[in-house]
Structure 1
Amino acid sequence: MIRTLKTTLPLAAALMLAAPAAYAQNLLIRGGTIHTGVEAQPTAEVVVVRDGRIAYVGPADGAPSAEGLEAVDLKGATLFPGFTDGHAHLDGIGWREMTLNLEGAASIVEAMARLTAWAEAHPDGVIVGRGWIETHWPEKRFLTAADLDAAAPGRLVVLSRADGHARVASSAALAAAGIDATTPTPSGGEILKGADGQPTGLLVDGAMALLEGLAPEADAAATREAYRAGFNVYARYGWTGVHFMSAPWKDVSLLEAMAREGEAPLRVYNSIDMGDARALMAGGPRDAGDGRIITRAIKFYADGALGSRGAKLFEPYSDRPDTFGLMLASREEVMPLYQEALRTGVQIATHAIGDQGNHDVAAWYEEALRATPKAEWKLADPRWRIEHAQIIRPRDYHYF
């Protein structure tokens, strides 16, 4: 896929989204600066596309015949190889568009004003939203049940933080889920409590599962609509590909069908959630829609997120000296899966943010790669990834 830019602003995605199929399949593109992404030949004069594949990139003098090609004059615009987002949650982006969208809310006041407006427009059912983040809010704190109760009195409300590692619930939602001061903290999670010992409404990582089941599960039609919305957001921003992290295994066949039916305007590389690891490894990597949807990796979570104090650190948090963060996976849990991935041709991506989280994952990778005989590898080149790698001790740089 390709993208055109004039100065720094994306143009309409006409070449891929709005143009007739024949136009998009056979092209002669010229008339602007063409970046190749290849160090030895950074720019070119002409790009030729035949049958949907880039057939030539180079000087005009060496270009093949233009017979049967639709000429595209860039008129001074700049052409780039397609931009791929290396880490996103495509389903979450779609659902954010279809539920209460708190992305960009600049304060608790603004976020709660959006909640009030949504509650008035949707008087029935559980209110679900996502996209809030307190990092730059003037209030300098997380949302609480009290905030939600004031904005939408009596309503069941569950709002996910932008990183997906914390959710805040209203008092009605906490009660419906049976969460109170005596609720045991789930492994790999935290139920934040106030000075009175009562839950504040914020649940971190593993504790978020306590809220599952409050909202009805989306049916196939709604799920498809959510993916359409996610695709539209990415196409509008100019992306041509996305690495979909924690992709639900149950949705892979849906995405493949959307690609075959022309509803996937960008390439998707699926890293499925670790809970479905063995389902992927049983059949091995797969692709559909002429490589438009590729499912070839498993996404693991080693620790939580930094903002919600879930990233696992070697030293306690300076503003929460009572916690070092959370590990969401153990060596005993992941090692058999890492080794089986090597034997079944599946790639690995593991979320790690804190310095201890990163150390542990790097050490686990090293152990798995050394312990599994290369003769058993089905991957010639294991491109195992650590997603985020946000904080790393200098003594662990050698792993990277």
Structure 2
Amino acid sequence: MPKRPVAVAEADLAIVNAQVLTMDRGRGSNRIPADAVAVGGGRILAVGSRDVAALTGPRTRRIDARGGAVLPGINDAHLHLVGASMAAFGYLDVSAPIAPGWDAVARRLEGAEPGEDGWVRARGWDDVLIGPAAGQILDVRPDTPVVAFDSTGHQLVANREALRRAGLAASTPDPAGGVIVRGEGGEPTGLFQDAAMEIVNRALPPVPAATLRKAVLAMQRRLHTQGITSLTEPGLGPASAGLLDGSGSVEAIRLLGDLAVSGELMLRVAVLMLFAGTGGADSAAIGAGLASRLRHAYTDRGIAPERLRIAGVKVFADGIPRSGTAWMAEPYGDHCTRGSLVIAGATEQDRVEELRHILRLVDRAGLQAGIHATGDAATEAAADALAAATDPGRRHYIIHGAFSTPETTLARMAQHGIGYSTNPLIRHGAGDAMRRLLGEERFARHQPLRTAATAGVPFTLASDAPVASTDWRETIVAAVRRGTRTSPGIPGDPEGISGLEALAAMTADAAWQDHAEQFKGTIAPGMAADLCVLAGQWPDDDRIEELLETDVALTIADGVPAREHAPR
């Protein structure tokens, strides 16, 4: 049940003339048709014009929504806060709108001012849009180390000086779960995929604390302007060099704690720790991480768990289809590979057993496992492992997910309380490439949201930023329409869901994933006063694209308009 509101005679703030979407878990229905909300002491005090009027006094601040929708604060259940912060505010942008080809990427890198550490760092290229990356920047700026991360977070390119500083040679072997892309003579081309990224990331000097702090606070402001008040940061810790740009380090965990202690952190953040990267995860590394003090990083500092907490552990079961490192039941892609688990082990069965051991360790530690699995074989192995050896009360979940037998696998996940977190906007952006790699039949059942809803699987929708935009409105539309860059989607797609179901997956259901449904995710007396106010009404599903033109008029975090939170 929601917490009881503090007894007050007068609200701090009242939103009136609104379309209040109170939200429920699952189907996204409105429990209470309402047109007003009262807030006080950081909590929702009343819902509905009659009850709100009774708490409105001379000191109550009155906000006229002018018929606009009021939603629970958006909860992005998979947003790399630190990585997205650096991508947006710390690195040179070489995304396709700015650098539409590799020649343009090279020109931007040539003209960039190196950082204080002497490196040029860039981010955002997409080989689907601008072509193969191997060798493209190898000879750029021979006297300056250069690294450029791609848009997926699973590839980077580097120049010769960066390779020299990383100690790379033709004899350097590919790490487990990663690929050093090579030329015909075996020489590295500068392209690194998945776990191989760690070779270059470990050679990078650490991001200065002041730079990281500034970027995170800038991203917090951006998220608040978009109506986002909560998120899951899916992977900070000692193995950060194998993920994205490597900035999600133990120091980043400490930084978030510092911001919470100082009162500057106004997002609600749940953190998954990363003890093993995108290749070769084993139970020894996970066990050592669980035995460390890292899981107590915030409780040791007296930080309220409603603000910031360690939620669990991120585990990479496989890579991604684009790199050929997703583990699929049937061959796929240009090289007709099946991929494999990126878990330690000599054989497929060894790797499956090691994955089970890892998940048992996380479960017994009382923590939640978020399992990255993009291939159908990896997804089903992870679901089987969770069903066999873990406590449903932990709310472990599959991240991304693909299914060869969605009805069977999702029914088993529902039976064992296993969640599912996926990214419709990535499906939209990479869909044309995915269709080519996987074939029409497998792509059609990719992200089977309707089947998941019917089976009763608790699922969330998320951006995976910086891989995709943090604009949650785009995610909602992508979940309803299921289109790609070149296709608007099939009318009546059997795996499409409604706009309100998608909204529930980014509010009430995301709160469930966080073990936080008692204080956030819905609009009811006693719940946290985290709200997103739109400039217009919520559109019907046949007009869902209108959501993209409906601005976020106001975000309220902890009962206060976000724009009024004092900068530090």
Task: Report the CA distance between 1:361 and its aligned residue.
Answer: 0.9
8 A contact 1:191–1:199 mirrored in 2: yes
Aligned-CA RMSD value:
2.8
Please state if 1:296 is matched with 2:289: no
8 A contact 1:26–1:70 mirrored in 2: yes
Match of 2:16 in 1: 30
SS at match of 2:399: strand
1:83 to 71, 74, 77: 74
Please state if 1:100 is matched with 2:92: yes
Structure 2: gaps of 5 or more residues: 1-10, 238-249, 277-288, 344-350, 414-568
SS at match of 2:211: helix
Task: Report the CA distance between 1:63 and its aligned residue.
Answer: 5.2
Match of 1:262 in 2: 263
Match of 2:471 in 1: none
Distance 1:205 1:78, change over 3 A: same
Runs (4+) of structure 1 exceeding 6 A deviation are none
Distance 1:160 1:246, change over 3 A: same
Distance 1:246 1:280, change over 3 A: farther
Identity of aligned residues (%): 28
Task: Report the CA distance between 1:209 and its aligned residue.
Answer: 1.5
Task: Report the CA distance between 1:204 and its aligned residue.
Answer: 1.4
Distance 1:212 1:40, change over 3 A: closer
SS at match of 1:43: coil
Letter in 1 for 2:385: W
- In structure 1, how many angstroms separate the alpha carbons of the residues matched to 2:114 and 2:295? 45
Letter in 1 for 2:39: V
Task: Report the CA distance between 1:353 and its aligned residue.
Answer: 0.3
Match of 1:162 in 2: 151
C-alpha deviations, 1:132-178, integer Å up to 9, x for none?
222233x3x2x123x21455454322112222212111222223323
Please state if 1:384 is matched with 2:396: yes
Letter in 2 for 1:129: A
Task: Report the CA distance between 1:65 and its aligned residue.
Answer: 2.1
Q: How does 1:154-303 map to 2 (within 5 A)?
A: 154-248=143-237, 249-275=250-276, 276-279=289-292, 283=296, 286=299, 288-289=303-304, 291-303=306-318
8 A contact 2:138–2:189 mirrored in 1: no
8 A contact 1:260–1:289 mirrored in 2: no
2:62 to 71, 95, 99: 71
- In structure 2, how many angstroms separate the alpha carbons of the residues matched to 1:270 and 1:312? 26
Aligned residues: 361
Distance 1:190 1:240, change over 3 A: same
Structure 1: gaps of 5 or more residues: 1-24, 370-376
Deviates more, 1:180-189 or 1:269-278: 269-278
Distance 1:345 1:250, change over 3 A: farther
C-alpha deviations, 1:69-116, integer Å up to 9, x for none?
32221123221111111111111111112112234447652x652553
Distance 1:211 1:326, change over 3 A: farther
Bigger proportion of residues as strand? 1
Letter in 1 for 2:341: M
Please state if 1:136 is matched with 2:106: no
Please state if 1:396 is matched with 2:397: no
Larger relative contact order (Cα-Cα within 8 Å, sequence gap ≥ 6): 2
Task: Report the CA distance between 1:44 and its aligned residue.
Answer: 1.1
Task: Report the CA distance between 1:207 and its aligned residue.
Answer: 1.2
Distance 1:284 1:293, change over 3 A: closer
